[in-house]
Amino acid sequence: MNNQTTPAAEFVDVTKSYGTLEVLQNLSFSIAPAERVSLIGPSGSGKTTILRMLMTLEQPTSGDIRVFGKPLSSGTGPRLREQDVRAARAHIGMVFQQFNLFPHMSAIGNVMEAPMQVLGMAKEEARAMAQALLDRVGLGAKADSYPSQLSGGQQQRVAIARALAMKPQIMLLDEITSALDPELIGEVLDVVHSLASETRMAMLVVTHEMGFARDIADRVIFMEKGRIVEEGRPDQVFEDPASERTRSFLRSVRR
Ligand SMILES: Nc1ncnc2c1ncn2[C@@H]1O[C@H](COP(=O)(O)OP(=O)(O)OP(=O)(O)O)[C@@H](O)[C@H]1O
Ligand SMILES: [Mg+2]
């Protein structure tokens, strides 16, 4: 099933409401395996909600979400089997704006935790893998440091290593540089760029950094008020947007 024609992730007519507030409206889109998609749009447009639904932290009100062709969530369809949802969900990793590291665990402990707890990996195997991942994000020497002893940029790189430890085929990044001091942003973006060039993970990137959104993406989706307003190649969306709403959004963030 995991061939080129099956999307890595697919939203089919997904609506999400909180009470009477409809935050996503009949949303349909898909991400191909190994595709990098930037999701941009004003605050409150529903970007984080999309990512949280892919993590099954939220359920759609109606519509279906599929991961490599397998059901992840179904708003109105029959109840899905928990083991099937868990299998679909296991393809996906996420890095959050607030790094969300376990404060009482060292950097390497944070990276080892899920492989041991979720996959039942043996401690020494998990440690070796975690060390290799910390090396990869440039933190090999900080393995035994606790989050409180690390800079924001270092903590975020640990969070990336932690997500990679579960070998996701789809990586979700939600404003991963927004909580960082400006001088620490570059080191985190460099890690993401190297992952993009060295792996075939699909990536769905939410960011207010328009340079990053453009550089990382094969495709850019601009959304507003829970709808996709425009999508296309980065050069097309950024240089010559079709919609006046995209145009005015880009003007406002560039200022
Ligand atoms: N748990 C919740 N209960 C009620 N409303 C919610 C909840 N989560 C999100 N919302 C609302 O859903 C809408 C979309 O929120 P979302 O966080 O997806 O926006 P966003 O595009 O990520 O915005 P930002 O750029 O500010 O992060 C907002 O109006 C928000 O207030
Ligand atoms: Mg958000």
Give the tens place of pLDDT for each residue, 25-40: 999 999 999 999 999 9
Residues lining ligand 2 (ion), CB within 5 A?
48
Q: Which residue has the tokens 């099933």?
A: 1
- Residue at token pair 């099956």: 6
Cβ-contact 214, 38 below 8 angstroms: yes
Task: Name the residue with the closest Cα to ligand 1, atom 4.
Answer: 18
pLDDT band at 3 (very low <50, low <70, confident <90, very high): low
Q: Could you tell me if 62 and 13 are in contact, meaning their C-beta atoms sit under 8 angstroms apart?
A: yes
Q: What pLDDT is recorded for position 82? A: 86
CA–CA separation, 214 vs 217, rounded Å? 6
Separation of CA 128 and ligand 2 centre (Å): 34
CB distance 18 to ligand 1 below 6 Å: yes
- Does the beta carbon of 43 sit less than 6 angstroms from any atom of ligand 1? yes
Residues 6+ apart with CB under 8 A from 155: 99, 101, 147
Q: Does the pLDDT value for residue 4 go beyond 70?
A: no
Q: Compute the distance between CA of residue 162 and CA of residue 176 in angstroms, rounded to an integer.
A: 14
pLDDT at 109 over 60: yes
On whether the CB atoms of residues 63 and 25 are closer than 8 A, the answer is: no
The candidate with the shortest Cα–Cα distance to 28, out of 63, 78, 69, 53, is 63
* CB-based contact 129:108 (threshold 8 Å): no
Q: Whose CA is nearest to atom 25 of ligand 1?
A: 43
Distance CA 226, CA 249 (A): 15
Residue 126 or residue 3, greater confidence? 126
CA-closest residue to ligand 1 atom 26: 43
Number of Cβ atoms within 10 Å of the Cβ of 184: 18
Determine which helix (DSSP H) or strand (DSSP E) holds 38, and give its type and residue range: strand 36-40
Q: 48 with 39: CB under 8 angstroms?
A: no
CB distance 44 to ligand 1 below 6 Å: yes
130-179: per-residue pLDDT in tens? 999 999 999 999 999 999 999 999 999 999 999 999 999 999 999 999 99
Crossing angle, helix 182-198 and helix 152-164, to 10 degrees? 20
Q: What are phi and psi of 48, to 5 degrees?
A: -65, -35
Ligand 1 pocket residue status of 207, Cβ below 6 Å: no
* 126, HSE (Cβ side, Cα atoms, 13 Å): 19
Instruction: Please provide the average confidence, as pLDDT, over all residues in the chain.
Output: 94
Asked whether residue 2 carries a pLDDT value surpassing 60, the answer given is: no
pLDDT of residue 255: 56
